[in-house]
A = this chain, B = another copy of it.
Amino acid sequence: MPTIKDVARLAGVTVTTVSRVLNNRGYISDATRQKVYQAMEELNYQPNEIARSLHRRKSKLIGLIIPTVSHPFFGELAGFIEYYAHLIGYKVLICNSLLDRKKEKEYIEMLKSNRVDGIIMGSHTLEVEEYMNLNYPIVTFDRRISEEIPYISSDNYGGGKLATHLLIQKGCKKIAHISGNLQLQLLANKRSQAFIELSKEHGIESVIVETELNVFDITQYEAMIRNLLEKHPDIDGVFASSDVMAAYFIQIGYFLNRRIPEDIKIVGYDDIKLASLFVPPLTTIRQPIEEMAKCAVELIVRQVNEEPFERENVFPVELIERLTT
């Protein structure tokens, strides 16, 4: 690979001059500028970003830790994050923690070693303190960690309310909520909270089941749901904490010959792209994934540039009513 020296030699100038045209500083005549460009062209020269990073102590890299990019919600989130990062010259390193505490830690160390400019955390199993002394531009999804670290979330409570309210309003008599693991202390837990409060308030019978800790694997959903429907065959409304869970529910309902929405109504959460393609199309609570992704990138950049930023970034959700309710 050619270096700046090769370019200088070929163009008949010094590396200082090449650097000057490369970085647009100082005086440069058009003639030499052209000579330099031509030499770069000829050699197919690409400035070594590693050397640059080393020197300027900025890598233009953002680390993204999520459970897994193969989950539709996180896939979409990652897609938008990369999109907005790329717009402003940042690259993104993906890390799939699989909600494994050890991997999460490993990834954080790795990202620090690689001197990423900031870390976007969409996966949370670690103790709060471990983040605290991270001393790094960070933004978290769905988790409040300390007074300083900014976080992004959807209006979980509002979403939970919208979903639960819809079920009640549609005449459900006994409703269930399937949530992620509640020990994880995520802000998503507020969805459950809203569910509980609202059903109590309306005197509606309700049950909650949650997924196991550390199990992101999707296979357990099925057993969980079948179990739920066996124990409570009279459930006629379900609020699932993600569209993927809702998909399981729809399917199991189909196999169990429960008509949707006639026998059981279902509301999901996220509004992943495929939600509208389910049969029947899924009623769900839409998180503004794109806006949240954009915000995450912005929060990192603001911290890098030492600009002021909001600590609380709660995005409004929207009820997307389709045909499962």
Contact = CB atoms under 8 A, between A and B. Distances in A.
A247 B277 contact: yes
A279 interface: yes
B54 A50 contact: yes
A82 B95 contact: yes
A83 B96 contact: yes
B83 A78 contact: no
Given A251-B277, A273-B70, A274-B247, A96 B113 contact: no
Interface stretch (A24-32, A86-94, A302-310): A86-94
A94 B78 contact: yes
A79 interface: yes
Interface string A30-60: 0000000000000010111111011000010
B83 A46 contact: no
User: So how many copies of this chain end up in the complex?
Assistant: 2
Contact of A82 (B94, B248, B276): B94
Contacts of A13: none
Contacts of A96: 79, 82-83, 86
A291 interface: no
Interface string A95-122: 1100000000000011011110000000
A158 interface: no
A109 B45 CA distance: 10
A98 to B, nearest CB: 8
Contacts of A273: 70, 218
A157 interface: no
A69 B69 contact: yes
A78 B251 CA distance: 27
A261 to B, nearest CB: 13
Contact of A70 (B75, B91, B112, B133): B75
Interface in A171-194: none
A260 to B, nearest CB: 9
Contacts of A288: none
Contacts of A91: 93, 110, 114
A288 to B, nearest CB: 15
A113 B48 contact: yes
Contacts of A321: none
A313 B54 CA distance: 38
Given A75-B69, A280-B254, A50 B53 contact: yes
7 contacts: A68-B79, A69-B78, A71-B75, A83-B96, A244-B274, A244-B277, A251-B277
What are the 4 tightest A-B residue pairs by CB atom distance, in nearest-first order? A70-B79, A75-B75, A70-B76, A247-B277
Given A44-B133, A69-B82, A244-B277, 12 more contacts: A46-B109, A46-B112, A51-B54, A69-B78, A70-B80, A72-B274, A82-B95, A91-B110, A92-B94, A250-B277, A251-B281, A278-B279
